[in-house]
Amino acid sequence: MGAHYIEEKYTFSGIAKTLSYVLMLIGLVSLVFLAMGMMGDHSEEAHHIANSRFWTNLMINGFFFFGISLAAIFFLSIHYAAEVAWSTVIKRLMEAISAYIIPGAIPLIIVFIGASLHWNHIYHWMDPHVMDPSSEHYDAIIAGKKPFLNQLSFWGFTIVFFIGCFWAQKAYRKRSIAEDNEGGLKIHMKNFNASAVFLVFFGYFLMIITWLWIMSIDTHWFSTLFGWYIFSGIWISFMTVMTMLILYLKRNGYMSYVNKKHIHDMGKWMFGISFLWTYLWFSQFMLIWYADIPEEVTYYIPRFFGPYKGLFLTMVFMNFAFPMLLLMDSDNKMNPFWLTFVGIIIFVGHWIDTYLLITPAVMKDHFHFGLLEVGLMLGFLGFFMWFVLRTLSKENLLVKHNPYLEESLHHH
Amino acid sequence: MHKEAEIRQPLILGNKSYKQITDDVVAPVFGKANKLWWLVFGISVVIALWGVGCILYTIGTGIGVWGLNSTVGWAWDITNFVWWVGIGHAGTLISAVLLLLRQKWRMAINRSAEAMTIFAVMMAGLFPLMHMGRIWNAHWIMMPVALFPNNFGSLWVNFNSPLLWDVFAISTYFSVSLVFWYIGLIPDFATIRDKAVKPLQKKIYGILSFGWTGNAKAWIRFEEVSLVLAGLATPLVFSVHSIVSMDFATSVIPGWHTTIFPPYFVAGAIFSGFAMVQTLLLICRKVLHLEDYITVKHSEYMNIVIVITGSMVGTAYLSELFIAWYSGVEYESYAFLNRATGPYWWAYLCMMTCNVVSPLLFFSKRLRTNLWFSFIISIVVNIGMWFERFVIIMSTARDYIPSNWDYFHPTFVDIGIFMGTIGIFFVLFLLYARTFPVLALNELKSILKSSGDNYKRGDVSHPVVPLLASGVIASPSSTKSTAISHPPKTKISSKKDDLTKIEGIGPKISGLLQADGISTFEALSNALPSKLKEILEKAGKRYQMHDPTTWPRQAKLAFENKWDALETLQDELKGGKH
Amino acid sequence: MKKIYGLYTDDGILSKGAQALVDSGVHVSDVYSPFPIHGIENIIGMKWTRLAICAFIYGLTGLLIALSGMWWFMGIDWPMIIGGKPNFKFYQNLPAFLPIAFEFTVLCAAHGMAITYFIRNWTFPGSAPRNPDPRTTDAHFALEVDPHMNHKFSKQDIVNMLAKTGPVEIFEKNIGEKAHHLQPNAQVISKPKQSAVKQSAVSASSPKTSTSKKDDLTKIEGIGPKICAILHDNGVLTFDMLSKTSPDKIKAFLHAAGPRYKMHDPGSWPKQADLAAHGKWDELKDLQDKLDGGK
């Protein structure tokens, strides 16, 4: 009984490559236009708005795509830790998406440096006047959070988090390739152990990171559920991207060993995690709505009554109703058309969710949602595509010598 | 056939066949209880009776006999309620979520876990009912008062109230779990019905099994119903404990109103539920001799779930604590400070140690595969989870008016009722263990070929093909088959074949067979596997693991000189497996 | 007319048998088993159930009842303002209605489907079982052929065809009555030929007499013909060679030959081979007595 070693490599060329370049170009143009908005002799307020618009867009896209690759590392860890077999055939795809975490961190680092140097005002608490009792802008509540909301802890946690994630990504990838070449159970067990350690690290640090990076943008506001909510959002975005990548590769004749059942499982995950996200969204929203405590409802007021209302309700509807209604049927969970259709809706829906996490607090009532926002998103998408597909083309599409490979190939 | 990775450990140990599984599982139903069972049952009955006495006393006298006071209006009873409901979560989780995630190890534990769910939710339901005081009016919350006319006319219960949500959630959860459990039980009741000899037993299990037939269409429907019920039960598990948490979290009381409550209660419920499953199954395993089915690996898997959910609960504790400070809301901060350093600091300490620290020990492989240690930790976790609820609820002991602050003292009735529910729970579970198939027979049989130890080792084959292939149809009369298993003596003396040509036979076994008169391929091809097995078993323990089922078939080919065919067959066989 | 049943002891044999029967044009009306056999519905041409659609409809009904009920109770019939929540407008109060709406949806879907399931199976408390043999709920599998549906074949044809698929018993019965056992025609069963005895004896003795380079390594406890062949392929031809091969190396050969050989432990083989190479057969026997399956 010989093991199935299928030598198959993805070649990154043709439409996909062209498309990624076109998208990157669109993104670059949008970025230039956004940056140009800050120049010229506007009033101070107009300048402030243009500045905020530029940086929030960088932050939204930076975090959204970073989150996808972060969730890829998480899912890869689950794959190892829970002794999952079926996803072994698509492990390389997860690795390729997770590899984006390093270039994906760059926009975030730029935004954070910008914030620390006061080039932007995404983080209200970074303004020294807010913490200064003698200043007229002094805010006692924010000042009370100083032990946590300060440059040192911000950068400290951020750097530790980056190091942890980079380490996990590198380790998984390196060992996966080593397993291809050498084989043996030892390498797999090393990944198994690493995954357990990483999951603990991830569990605690993701909470802190989401508080620092995103919750602190609405500086007064707080919610204990916030970390888990963000987590479910990046997870579903990743599952969607993953499904689309599988469908794309299969459409182009790759991965004949990925059968209907693998696709079905991806469909089930998309369906299930959409529910999880909705559940967490509802839990947070309903409890705040029900108790109606002023400190808490501030978060939902601009989103529910302000200019963001339409976008907010559309987002919830997109992210819940479409997957629920269209993926409930098990045949649809295997159908490439429906998966792509719902996938695009979820992808856009969660991008809007990320937009709504950040924008209302920074831009306040100056609601901007135009071509430049979409353009920059497409640009990031192009870069993401380019990087992931390029990484994917470097190694064999199917892993070798993995102890679960046979079981995964016979998944049914 | 499903292909399972070699690296996976077997989930069914020993040399099992479909028949053996049935016999092992139904043994407690037909057999007599052992001393250990009577001992545990006796103790449980005594405690249960104590509890029933306290319950009757409460109903007869009023809830004034409890230790409630003006600030703590909701103490012992709600703690117990949430604790029991939480425990009830593991059963449905195991049968629903793990079914959807295709975790095969759930097969050995889901039946008992679901039974535990049913009994735990029953215990939970007692507390709100008792707290109503006038329990005879309990139907008023279930049915609109409009149907039971009163002074106000058509007055409805408040559908905005989380307490009413809870009524709907718990009753839906209880009834759906019951249906899910029972539908799974029907085929196994049918097995007992068809095995039973005593008329009364046959009759009872006949009624319970709903005339189950096990035809193809029934199984198709069975699988579809199980899958859809699992799909429905999964969000149900989440919703139920979320709604329980909303009893607290929709309020504006510091320490209660926090958005993480719904998922954190769910994680905590799974955490304590798995701990209780662990406790019960480790007892079950010993008392009912199910070591081959509830293996150390099962226990390890459950411990891993305990670590994961324990860590989730841990992150939730810490984020609650952190956000209480971060929010800058003084009342919120004080509530948490009070929990850790106030009069109930000991409960807080107990909760933190039992729930956050102790499961972390399971990161050590040696500890999580140690059954005694697992048993102890499973109890420790449930003690911790009781205190978690107690700590949360005691937030109200210090409300906004310091002159009201009080300390809660449970009365003997409080303690009696709580201990009593544990007693009743164990009585029910022990009765269940003696009368129900405690393992899901039909599901276990369906994983035998992929996860059975003997199949994984490759020691088994189909026991019957050789009979027909070698020209024998086993007839129901036993005389005929025994006649065949003894080949005519005249042939034996004539010649000896080298039986080691048969895959699975070495020189030693060859010697054994020859000693028993089977010295030629022909004789071997005519021998019944059961007879061969008998020979092997007689020869000593170490031969028991050999499975001779394919030997006659192989021997027949050898006898007919079809060496190529034999080799192909041996290639196909995995030392005997198809 | 009675139906004909073949009784099997293995689901795999039954599935293959059913496939063979269907291939030869027999209509298999049903299969009875102690657990679901996956894929059998495709073999015998049975449609998948539509119970899931029922569940969806019941669920939707429940959702509508719950939502419209709460709209009417709380807003129309007896409007209430509790805790400052505006109940009069249904959509403004929707978040508070969702938990019960969800629970009621699940309640209706689950119970509706369970009731439909019992009705479709026509099984109720106390119904009489309709399986042809009580053993089919334990460890046996029955395949049902209705002669009515198979006019092409005579009863004996069906029995003969069934006999070839490897059942342990063939019988006919009406549900609730006694079974009558059937035997296939004699020619269906291939009788072993007497003339083959000599040939087998000759060829069986050939490895023993082979004095050339190859030894019969199956003499070693733990080595069967397959492993013997693997060792020969790897150049370990004689007892002497085997005695000088380290267990690790043997293990590597076995590993390379496929995962199913992994479980073999060659630890004692060189020692056994050493004795065999020196013709110490008695000592080898003693050693093998002590060993447990070659370990």
Q: Can you give the pLDDT at residue B12?
A: 78
Tens-digit pLDDT string for chain A (412 aa): 345 567 788 888 888 899 999 999 999 999 998 888 877 767 778 888 888 889 999 999 999 999 999 999 999 999 888 888 888 888 999 999 999 999 999 999 999 999 999 888 889 888 888 888 888 888 888 888 888 989 999 999 999 999 999 999 999 999 988 888 887 788 888 888 889 889 989 988 999 999 999 999 988 899 999 999 999 999 999 999 999 999 999 888 888 888 888 899 899 999 999 999 999 999 999 999 888 888 888 899 888 888 888 999 999 999 999 999 898 888 888 889 999 999 999 999 999 999 999 998 888 888 888 888 999 999 999 999 999 999 999 888 888 878 788 777 777 6
On whether any CB of chain C is under 8 Å from the CB of B149, the answer is no
CB contact under 8 A, B318 and A204: yes
Task: Please tell me the distance in Å from B274's CA to the nearest CA on chain C.
Answer: 24
CB contact under 8 A, B263 and A223: no
In chain C, which residue's Cα lies nearest the Cα of B491?
C197
Task: Please tell me the distance in Å from C84's CA to the nearest CA on chain A.
Answer: 10
Least confident span in A101-110, A304-313, B524-533, C274-283: B524-533
A95, burial (CB in 10 Å: exposed 0-12, middle 13-18, buried 19+): buried
Q: Average per-residue pLDDT in chain C?
A: 76
Tokens 């020691």 map to which residue? B459
What value does the mean pLDDT take over residues B526-541? 72
Find which of A301-315, B285-299, C252-266 is predicted with most confidence, using mean pLDDT. A301-315
One domain for residues B261 and B409? yes
Across the interface, of A85, A199, A224, the residue whose CB is closest to B323 is A224
Instruction: Give me the domain span that covers residue C12.
Output: 1-190
Contacts B–C by Cβ distance under 8 A: 334
Q: Can you give the pLDDT at residue A102?
A: 93
Is C230 part of any domain?
A: yes
One domain for residues C236 and C177? no
In chain C, which residue's Cα lies nearest the Cα of B6?
C259
One domain for residues B124 and B170? yes
Tokens 């909760």 map to which residue? B351
Alpha-helical segments (H) within A14-150: 14-38, 44-81, 91-98, 101-116, 128-131, 140-144
Dihedral sign from CA coordinates of B52, B58, B63, B65: negative
Across the interface, of A224, A406, A410, the residue whose CB is closest to B259 is A224
Q: Can you give the pLDDT at residue B501?
A: 75
On whether any CB of chain A is under 8 Å from the CB of C39, the answer is no
One domain for residues C159 and C211? no
Q: Among A80, A179, A222, pick the best mutation site for testing chain B contact (most B Cβ within 10 A).
A: A222
CB contact under 8 A, C260 and B575: yes
Q: Among B465, B503, B528, pick the best mutation site for testing chain C contact (most C Cβ within 10 A).
A: B465
CB contact under 8 A, C200 and B521: yes
Which residues neighbour A101 within 8 Å (Cβ) at sequence distance 6 or greater?
Answer: A66, A69, A70, A72, A73, A165, A166, A169
| C205: pLDDT strictly greater than 70 | no
Neighbouring chains of A at 3+ CB pairs under 8 Å are B, C
Least confident span in A372-381, B402-411, B547-556, B565-574: B565-574
Q: Average per-residue pLDDT in chain B?
A: 80
Number of independent structural domains in chain C: 2
One domain for residues C217 and C269? yes
Q: Among B256, B326, B572, pick the best mutation site for testing chain A contact (most A Cβ within 10 A).
A: B326
Q: Of B421, B455, B489, which residue sits at a domain end?
A: B455
Q: Residue B148 — very low, low, confident or very high, per pLDDT cuts 50/70/90? A: low
Token couple for B233: 């039960």
Across the interface, of C113, C129, C259, the residue whose CB is closest to B190 is C129
One domain for residues B271 and B343? yes
One domain for residues C84 and C226? no
Taking a C-beta distance cutoff of 8 angstroms, is the pair A168, A77 a contact?
yes
Q: Of B455, B485, B516, which residue sits at a domain end?
A: B455
Contacts A–B by Cβ distance under 8 A: 100
Give C260's contacts in chain A (Cβ within 8 Å): 1
Dihedral sign from CA coordinates of B564, B567, B572, B578: positive
Q: Can you give the pLDDT at residue B16?
A: 74
Name the percent of chain C lying above pLDDT 90. Answer: 11
Taking a C-beta distance cutoff of 8 angstroms, is the pair A76, A94 a contact?
yes
Least confident span in B88-92, B397-401, C227-231: C227-231
Q: Can you give the pLDDT at residue C114?
A: 92
C104 φ/ψ angles, rounded to the nearest 5 degrees: -70, -35
CA gap B205, B189 in Å, rounded: 6
Is B196 part of any domain?
A: no
Q: Can you give the pLDDT at residue B476?
A: 38
Q: Can you give the pLDDT at residue C219?
A: 75
Across the interface, of A1, A282, A285, the residue whose CB is closest to C258 is A1
Q: Can you give the pLDDT at residue B521?
A: 78
Task: Please tell me the distance in Å from C233's CA to the nearest CA on chain A.
Answer: 16
CA gap B217, B223 in Å, rounded: 10
Q: Can you give the pLDDT at residue B542?
A: 66
One domain for residues C129 and C263? no
Task: Please tell me the distance in Å from C231's CA to the nearest CA on chain B.
Answer: 15
One domain for residues C246 and C152? no
Token couple for C105: 């949806």
Q: Can you give the pLDDT at residue C105?
A: 94
C85 φ/ψ angles, rounded to the nearest 5 degrees: -85, 130
Is C197 part of any domain?
A: no
Is C195 part of any domain?
A: no
Q: Which residues 178-217 of B have a C-beta within 8 angstroms of C?
A: 179-180, 183, 186-187, 190-191, 193-195, 206-217
| C46: pLDDT strictly greater than 60 | yes
Give C84's contacts in chain A (Cβ within 8 Å): 292
Q: Residue B495 — very low, low, confident or very high, per pLDDT cuts 50/70/90? A: low
Q: What pLDDT digit, counting tens, does each position of B45-56 carry?
A: 999 999 999 999
One domain for residues B412 and B499? no
Is C196 part of any domain?
A: no
Q: Of C156, C190, C224, which residue sits at a domain end?
A: C190
One domain for residues C140 and C4? yes
Q: How many CB atoms lie within 10 A of CB A117?
A: 9
Task: Please tell me the distance in Å from A18's CA to the nearest CA on chain B.
Answer: 39
One domain for residues B401 and B541? no
Q: What pLDDT digit, counting tens, does each position of B343-363 carry?
A: 888 999 999 888 888 888 888
The SS3 call for residue B427 is: helix
Smallest CA-to-CA distance from B238 within A3, A273, A101 is with: A273
B494, burial (CB in 10 Å: exposed 0-12, middle 13-18, buried 19+): exposed
One domain for residues B439 and B474? no
Least confident span in A345-354, B394-403, B434-443, C186-195: C186-195
Give C258's contacts in chain A (Cβ within 8 Å): 1-2
Q: Can you give the pLDDT at residue A278?
A: 94
Q: Which residues 83-102 of B have a C-beta within 8 angstroms of C?
A: none
Which residues neighbour C5 within 8 Å (Cβ) at sequence distance 6 or greater?
Answer: C132, C133, C142, C143, C144, C145, C170, C171, C172, C173, C179
CB contact under 8 A, C258 and A290: no
Instruction: Give me the domain span that covers residue B316.
Output: 18-188+233-455
Task: Please tell me the distance in Å from A119's CA to the nearest CA on chain B.
Answer: 26
One domain for residues C175 and C236? no
One domain for residues C127 and C263? no
One domain for residues B426 and B553? no
Is B11 part of any domain?
A: no
Which amino acid is located at C17 in the chain? G
Task: Please tell me the distance in Å from A176's CA to the nearest CA on chain C.
Answer: 21
Token couple for C91: 């959509």
Q: Residue C211 — very low, low, confident or very high, per pLDDT cuts 50/70/90? A: very low
Token couple for A238: 């990743």
The strand pairing partners of B215, in sequence order, are C32
One domain for residues C82 and C218? no
One domain for residues B487 and B437? no
Smallest CA-to-CA distance from A316 within A356, A375, A369 is with: A356
Is B562 part of any domain?
A: yes
One domain for residues B372 and B491? no
Q: Among A286, A316, A333, A402, pick the best mutation site for testing chain C contact (most C Cβ within 10 A).
A: A286
Task: Please tell me the distance in Å from A412's CA to the nearest CA on chain C.
Answer: 11
Length of chain C: 295
Give C144's contacts in chain B (Cβ within 8 Å): 215
| B332: pLDDT strictly greater than 80 | yes
CA gap B460, B452 in Å, rounded: 10
Taking a C-beta distance cutoff of 8 angstroms, is the pair A57, A372 a contact?
yes
The SS3 call for residue A183 is: coil
CA gap B402, B50 in Å, rounded: 37
Q: Among B260, B305, B447, pick the best mutation site for testing chain A contact (most A Cβ within 10 A).
A: B260
On whether any CB of chain C is under 8 Å from the CB of B490, the answer is no
Q: Residue B493 — very low, low, confident or very high, per pLDDT cuts 50/70/90? A: very low
Give the CATH number, domain containing residue B113. 1.20.1630.10
Taking a C-beta distance cutoff of 8 angstroms, is the pair B211, B185 a contact?
no
| C292: pLDDT strictly greater than 70 | no
One domain for residues B30 and B166? yes
Q: Of B427, B455, B483, which residue sits at a domain end?
A: B455
Tokens 């993401």 map to which residue? A384
One domain for residues B451 and B482? no
One domain for residues B476 and B440? no
C223 versus B431: the higher-pLDDT residue is: B431
Contacts A–C by Cβ distance under 8 A: 16
Across the interface, of C31, C83, C219, the residue whose CB is closest to B216 is C31
What value does the mean pLDDT take over residues B55-71? 85
Q: Can you give the pLDDT at residue B143?
A: 61
Is C200 part of any domain?
A: no
CB contact under 8 A, B4 and A407: yes
